[in-house]
């Protein structure tokens, strides 16, 4: 007996049941949507992790760590924006805002 809520192969989130449609194209679109959702959430999670590291460094007023974290964060969020997981303008806003904060560390 298969358990529909078994953990997915890549992580802790349970599998979602595919929404069944009447038309083959609707079934395919639902399947593609789930794949894209998983890919985008992976990128979003990665970006959030790097952003949290950067914010902690800014709060601790550690200039060297903050600059290194900013470079890593910029790289990750740009890659996510290129892949469509994060909107390009949102990525630009976050980079700009956090760059200003790093520059103002005293």
- pLDDT tens, the chain, 106 aa long: 445 555 555 566 666 666 677 899 999 999 999 999 999 999 999 999 999 999 999 999 999 999 999 999 999 999 999 999 999 999 999 999 999 999 999 7
| Integer CA distances (angstroms), 2 to 8, 15, 17, 84, in order | 13, 12, 12, 34
CA atoms within 13 A on the CB side of 64: 0
| Integer CA distances (angstroms), 101 to 9, 10, 32, 63, 97, in order | 39, 35, 39, 10, 6
Q: What is the pTM of this model?
A: 0.74
**Fold for the domain defined by 24-103:** Methane Monooxygenase Hydroxylase; Chain G, domain 1 (1.20.58)
Say what the pLDDT of residue 1 is. 45
Say what the pLDDT of residue 20 is. 72
Nearest-angstrom CA–CA distance, 30 and 10: 20
**What are the extents of the domains in the chain?**
24-103
């Amino acid at each position: 007996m298969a358990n529909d809520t078994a953990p997915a192969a890549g992580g802790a989130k349970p599998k979602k049941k595919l929404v069944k449609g009447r038309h083959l194209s609707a079934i395919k679109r639902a399947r593609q949507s789930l794949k894209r959702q998983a890919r985008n959430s992976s990128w979003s999670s990665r970006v959030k992790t790097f952003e949290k590291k950067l914010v902690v460094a800014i709060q601790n007023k550690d200039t060297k760590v903050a600059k290194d974290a900013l470079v890593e964060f910029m790289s990750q969020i740009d890659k996510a924006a290129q892949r469509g997981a994060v909107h390009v303008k949102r990525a630009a806003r976050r980079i700009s805002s956090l760059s200003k904060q790093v520059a103002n560390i005293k």
